[in-house]
Amino acid sequence: MEESDIISAIDRAHKGIGQYLEIMDLFHNVDVSVDCYFQRLFNAFYRVRQRKREWYEEYYSFMQKNKSAPVPFEKVLDHLKNTLGRYEPSFSSKLAATLNPHEPVWDRFVLKNTGQTAPYYTANNKFQGAKEIFRNIRKWYANYLISEDGIHVISTFNRLVEKHERITDIKKVDFVLWQTRA
């Protein structure tokens, strides 16, 4: 990735970086299961929309319960299936990445950048497929972070973003890649 592309991506990501830092500050300081401001910021940042009240209650209660012992994507995915009967790989990843910021997120841009294809929603084995895809996303990030491109993205981010030390390398790459989508 060219330096100018990285700089442009970071410039476009500045608002989102600020939102993310505020979310993570609040996450550690409020009860997310009842804090409407946190939930509103999180929902806007991660585009969580059009869910029933019960979904939001379960989602944020589970997040709050697991603050001190973060659970991985796979456990969140299973929990939302078992409690809500829902297949939610994207929102499961966002909850897991909030609990543990060293986890990647799942969205269509991450799938594209990592060369993954989501299982069909109607597939019988979609939960197992999603777990395998997420393992592949983790591997992709692990390799990218130590690659020449990954190191360049991270060093450029660190040079241009205040408070960069509060953001994990995975999230730094995520901000840049999300802004460079086609």
pLDDT tens digit sequence for 42-93: 999 999 998 999 999 999 999 999 999 999 999 999 999 999 999 999 999 9
Note the pLDDT tens digit of each residue in 1-48: 899 999 999 999 999 999 999 999 999 999 999 999 999 999 999 999
Distance, in Å, from the CA atom of 126 to the CA atom of 120, rounded to the nearest integer, reads 7
Residue in 12, 181, 27, 7 with CA at minimum distance from that of residue 101:
27
| pLDDT value of position 181 | 65
| pLDDT value of position 1 | 85
Distance, in Å, from the CA atom of 99 to the CA atom of 16, rounded to the nearest integer, reads 18
Note the pLDDT tens digit of each residue in 94-120: 999 999 999 999 998 899 989 999 999
Note the pLDDT tens digit of each residue in 127-148: 999 999 999 999 999 999 999 9
Residue 76 tokens, joined: 């969140």
CB neighbour class for 108 (10 Å; exposed up to 12, middle 13-18, buried from 19): exposed
Give me the amino acid identity at 87. Y
Q: What is residue 47's three-state secondary structure?
A: coil
